[in-house]
Amino acid sequence: MKIALTTLAAAAGLATASPVLTTSLTDYVVDSAGTPTGTLVLDVSGMSFNDAPGSALNEILSVFIGVGGEVTGIGWDVNLTSIGASWANEAVMGFEGQVNLTVAADANPVSNMNYASGIVDLSDDAGLPNITVGADGILDIEFSESFVDNGGTGDNFFEAGSTITIVGTGSGFVPTPGSLAVLGLGGLVAGRRRR
């Protein structure tokens, strides 16, 4: 079942909700004492945002984080380019159908614009529950558009050097703070596909 960020925020009792997690949020703090956490840095260079959520045209990055795994934080350091009249803030990453993240707040087209954050602690900073994976232990990240300007041809894409960082628990996480060297490990368990 897919639940939009605004739906989760309303369920959490927030008066207003924005589907944009901005860079003004604070760095990740471990809030589950005694539970080991780890980090995965994933190269998302070249991923494109093609169509509305759930479309067969969208790209999906599948990452094994482990059965019973949970994502407790997300960060990004991405370079985004818009195609045609599409706006940067229309590019959405959907994590396991539970949280939708828009990394850019710009309501206009951009060219190789960098957007970076610290690690956002989902439950503390964003007021959302942690992301849990299904019985297969795989986290699916769907790249979609909140408004489709260029039907079927793509509206935004990540330029070279774009990464997202996920923090959490599960056998697929590296148990020490991540670095760009982790990209190789993430690539072993990650797969790209169209929906």
pLDDT digits (tens, 9 = 90+) for 101-157: 898 988 999 999 999 988 888 877 667 788 989 899 999 999 999 988 877 778 899
Residue 68 included in any domain? yes
- For the CA atoms of 161, 183, 179, 32, the dihedral, rounded to the nearest 10 degrees, stands at 120
What integer pLDDT is reported at residue 35 of this predicted model? 58
Contact predicate 167/74, CB 8 Å: yes
State the Cα–Cα distance between residues 86 and 167, nearest whole angstrom: 30
What integer pLDDT is reported at residue 123 of this predicted model? 74
Domain span at 22: 5-28+35-169+182-194
The one-letter code for the residue type at 97 is G
State the Cα–Cα distance between residues 91 and 125, nearest whole angstrom: 21
Residue 121 included in any domain? yes
Residue 176 included in any domain? no
Token representation of residue 16: 């207003």
What integer pLDDT is reported at residue 160 of this predicted model? 97
Token representation of residue 107: 């309501």
What integer pLDDT is reported at residue 38 of this predicted model? 87
Identify the CA nearest to 14 among candidates 133, 168, 125.
125
Q: What is the DSSP letter of 142?
A: E
Residue 156 included in any domain? yes
Number of domains in the chain: 1
Q: Which residues of the chain have pLDDT under 70?
A: 1-36, 125-126, 174-195
